[in-house]
Structure 1
Amino acid sequence: MRVVSLVPSLTEAVAVTLPGALVGATDWCTHPAGLDVVRIGGTKNPKTERILSLAPDLVIANEEENRAPDLDALRAAGVDVLVTEVRSVPQAFGELERVLRACGAGSRPRWLDEAEETWAALPQPGRRTTAVVPVWRRPWMVLGRDTFAGDVLARLGVDHVYAAHAERYPRVSRDDLLAAGPDLVVLPDEPYRFTADDGPEAFPGLPCALVSGRHLTWYGPSLAEAPRVLGRALRAARR
């Protein structure tokens, strides 16, 4: 089986489960470390001719991260394309199993069982916190309705303010974000790379949690440690 992945989460999942199956991945596929495959461009601008030159048996993609015209072009060229939809933690587990089986896995990998067990064993949060969760700056964009990252946070006791917004990633002015009066601002390091010097200064007087974007937005092997890693960052910000 020759697989090209257009999604960093899925790249990591396939690479650790089926060593040797991946022949191509995006420039943003940074895990596992040292992954040695052909790079085929970005998630939004993959080089379709390079993908075709790899003669893949399967291309794995995601309805949010990848553009339909690129996937249609691959299908038109005769390539089998599997597209995932992941908007909640339980959905992530099901889609990961589907992808891995399509890539040739004969059984469910242990890491996936462990990740699911970790999330199932989470205690009910004692105190819930409201937050705004920017994912981009210039312009400000935040988590809105029906997102995987929003579901991750909700299971950790954090309710993001724009969860009922009509858009999934609405543009909201900084003034409106401040006026929303959240308990906390959650700043991941991807897709926009918020840092201690780039982000918190925009929200004076509000505690800011700088969190790992991989643990907040990726649905792969990182799911097993995400509750611990994110929980630690959130607790530190709320103190």
Structure 2
Amino acid sequence: MRVVSLVPSLTEAVAVTLPGVLVGATDWCTHPAELDVPRVGGSKYPDLARVLALRPDLVLLNVEENRREDADALVAAGVPVRVTYPRTVPEALAELTELLADLGATQEPAWLGAARRAWADPPRLSPARRAVVPVWRRPWVVLGSDTFAGDVLRRLGTLNLYEGHPERYPRPEFAELRDIGAELVVLPDEPYRFTADDGPEAFPGTPCALLSGRHLTWYGPSLAEAPAVLAAQLARPVTVPA
């Protein structure tokens, strides 16, 4: 089996579980650190000629990370694709279990068992906090309904005020975002790299939790440590004076 992954979290999952199966990955596939396979460009705009040159038996894709036209082009070229789309932690664990078994794993990897245990009873903020979760700035974009990251945060005691929005990634006016009554602003470092110097200053007086985007949005080996990492970061917000 020769697999090309266009999804960083799946790249890590396959690489650490089935060494030798992965023959190509994107430039953004940074884990595991020692990964040494040909690169095929970005997730949104991969070099399909490079992908095809690797003669893959399967290309791994994700609805949010990759474009439909690239999936269609690969299928038209005769390359099987597998498209993932987990929107909850249980869905992610189930998809990973099925994928790895289909790729040849004869038993569940240790990291996947650890992830199941970690998410069976994750640490939670107490009391739960009403929050907004910007994922982009200029313009502001926030987590809305039916997202994997939203489910992760909900399980950790964070109540997304845009959870009931009809869109998955709303673009509210900043005045609305500022005045909605959030008790916490969650600022991940992916896809927009929010930092202590870029983000909290927009919400003076409101605690801002700076989170690891990899642990918030990746579904792979990072799931095993995500509850502890994210809970610790949520518990240590920074506040810019009003």
Length-normalised TM-score, structure 1: 0.97
Figure out how many residues of one structure are paired with residues of the other and give that number. 239
C-alpha deviations, 1:186-233, integer Å up to 9, x for none?
Answer: 000000001111111111111101110000000110011111100001
Alignment of 1:1-239 (within 5 A): 1-122=1-122, 126-237=126-237
2:238, 2:208 → 1: CA distance? 8
2:118, 2:203 → 1: CA distance? 33
Letter of the aligned partner of 1:54 in structure 2? Answer: L
Offset of residue 124 of structure 1: 6.2
What secondary structure, in the 3-state scheme, does the structure 1 residue paired with 2:24 have?
A: strand
C-alpha deviations, 1:111-169, integer Å up to 9, x for none?
Answer: 10110111102366541111110001110000000000000000000011100111101
Q: Is the 8 A contact 1:135 1:188 kept in 2?
A: yes
Letter of the aligned partner of 2:47 in structure 1? Answer: K
Q: Is the 8 A contact 1:189 1:212 kept in 2?
A: yes
1:79, 1:150 → 2: CA distance? 33
Q: Is the 8 A contact 1:60 1:99 kept in 2?
A: no
Letter of the aligned partner of 1:14 in structure 2? Answer: V
1:189, 1:35 → 2: CA distance? 22
C-alpha deviations, 1:37-72, integer Å up to 9, x for none?
Answer: 111111111111110000001101111211111001
Q: 1:93 to 1:85 in 2, by over 3 A?
A: same
1:39, 1:139 → 2: CA distance? 31
Q: What runs of 5+ residues in structure 2 fail to find an aligned partner?
A: none
C-alpha deviations, 1:3-54, integer Å up to 9, x for none?
Answer: 1001011001001001111111111111111211111111111111110000
Q: 1:172 to 1:30 in 2, by over 3 A?
A: same
Q: Is the 8 A contact 1:62 1:85 kept in 2?
A: yes
Residue identity over aligned pairs, in percent, reads 66
What secondary structure, in the 3-state scheme, does the structure 2 residue paired with 1:15 have?
A: helix
1:63, 1:123 → 2: CA distance? 29
Length-normalised TM-score, structure 2: 0.96
